[in-house]
């Protein structure tokens, strides 16, 4: 069962709402007016009727020469050379991912090594049977900067940066709660600058848009402090990005 939480107005506990949703891989929303509720409920009902996988378990196995560093955004466990993640359910047309940071050994130009193998097990809700899927990721080495740049997966770069931004938003909330407004604003501005630099480098409109929005949020907090609305926006946006929640 996935639990979706919806906070209406500014007099509710957004931390509790996000935690409740996170425990079940559900969605969370912040709406200022009840007028938005029919749209959200309609979208959520559509998701419930479109479940395509349940009890999803992902095991990522790394070869001995590749070392796991961290799981970015999503909750999971690292056990030696294995990373374990789980999700309650997946809906049709939905994309979920895990960002794993690893250390790869040096190698000679032209060589190719296996980086990771992913094995997914899930319950088919129609047949009630367990099904599996797997895939393997490789890395090629080159001393040609142009080849390296041309091989960049911009989708991964984008999601990595947006997840780092989600962590920065959470850090800003934490700093503000401790009375460190200036440090909270600086955290958001640094994240906005990083998004702007990467967005400009790859001409990525989504990163540039997020950078602009974050700068506005930072300036507002700098002028007025962390209002109830600002805090709820940051908490909700951070959770939605880490959970790959689609905007409704």
pLDDT for 47: 62
- Please tell me whether residues 128 and 189 are part of one structural domain: no
Would you place residue 210 in the very low, low, confident or very high pLDDT band (cuts 50, 70, 90)? very high
The tokens describing 49, both together, are: 């009727």
How far apart are the C-alpha atoms of 88 and 2, rounded to whole Å?
Answer: 7
Cβ neighbour number for residue 13 with a 10 Å cutoff? 12
Q: 212, exposed or middle or buried, with CB in 10 Å at 0-12, 13-18, 19+?
A: middle
- Please tell me whether residues 230 and 185 are part of one structural domain: yes
Q: For residue 92, what are the contacts with CB-CB under 8 A and spacing of at least 6?
A: 50, 51, 52
149 in any annotated domain? no
Domain count for the chain: 3
Query: 216: domain range?
Result: 154-242
202 in any annotated domain? yes
Q: What is the mean pLDDT of the chain?
A: 91
Classified as helix, coil or strand, 50 is: coil
163 in any annotated domain? yes
pLDDT above 90 covers a percentage of the chain that reads: 75
Whether the pLDDT of residue 143 is over 60: the answer is: yes
pTM of the entire structure?
A: 0.85
147 in any annotated domain? no
How far apart are the C-alpha atoms of 244 and 150, rounded to whole Å?
Answer: 26
pLDDT above 70 covers a percentage of the chain that reads: 97
Whether the pLDDT of residue 35 is over 80: the answer is: yes
Nearest to 52 by CA among 4, 10, 90: 90
Half-sphere exposure at residue 22, Cβ-oriented, CA atoms within 13 angstroms? 17
The residue-averaged pLDDT of 202-218 equals 95
pLDDT in tens, 158-168: 999 999 999 99
Whether the pLDDT of residue 46 is over 80: the answer is: no
pLDDT for 49: 62
The residue-averaged pLDDT of 189-215 equals 96
23 in any annotated domain? yes
- Please tell me whether residues 165 and 209 are part of one structural domain: yes
- Please tell me whether residues 138 and 214 are part of one structural domain: no
What residues does 117 pair with on adjacent strands?
61, 136
pLDDT for 63: 96
pLDDT in tens, 72-121: 988 899 999 999 999 888 887 778 889 999 999 999 999 999 999 999 99
Whether the pLDDT of residue 248 is over 60: the answer is: no
The residue-averaged pLDDT of 172-184 equals 96
Phi (first) and psi of residue 200, to 5 degrees: -70, -40
The residue-averaged pLDDT of 142-158 equals 93
pLDDT for 41: 84
248 in any annotated domain? no
162 in any annotated domain? yes
Residue 101 DSSP label: E
CATH number for the domain including 107?
2.60.40.3670
């Amino acid at each position: 069962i996935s639990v979706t939480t919806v906070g209406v107005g500014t007099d509710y506990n957004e931390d509790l709402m996000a935690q409740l949703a996170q425990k079940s891989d559900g969605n969370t929303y912040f709406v200022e007016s009840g007028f938005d509720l029919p749209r959200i409920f309609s979208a959520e009902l559509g998701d419930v009727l479109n479940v395509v996988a349940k009890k999803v378990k992902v095991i990522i196995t790394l070869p001995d020469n590749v070392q796991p560093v961290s799981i970015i955004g999503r909750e999971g466990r690292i056990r030696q050379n294995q990373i374990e993640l789980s999700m309650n359910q997946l809906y049709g047309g939905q994309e979920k991912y895990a960002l794993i940071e690893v250390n790869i050994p040096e190698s000679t130009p032209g060589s190719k090594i296996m980086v990771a193998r992913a094995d997914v097990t899930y319950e088919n809700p129609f047949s009630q049977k367990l099904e599996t899927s797997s895939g393997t990721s490789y890395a090629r080495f080159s001393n040609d900067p142009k080849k390296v740049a041309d091989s960049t997966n911009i989708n991964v770069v984008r999601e990595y940066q947006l997840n780092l931004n989600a962590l920065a938003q959470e850090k800003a909330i934490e700093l503000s709660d401790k009375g460190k407004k200036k440090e909270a604003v600086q955290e958001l501005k640094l994240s906005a600058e990083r998004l702007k630099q990467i967005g400009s480098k790859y001409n990525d409109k989504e990163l540039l848009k997020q950078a602009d929005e974050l700068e506005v949020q930072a300036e507002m907090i700098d002028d007025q402090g962390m209002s109830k609305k600002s805090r709820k926006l940051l908490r909700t946006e951070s959770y939605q990005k880490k959970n790959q929640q689609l905007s409704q």
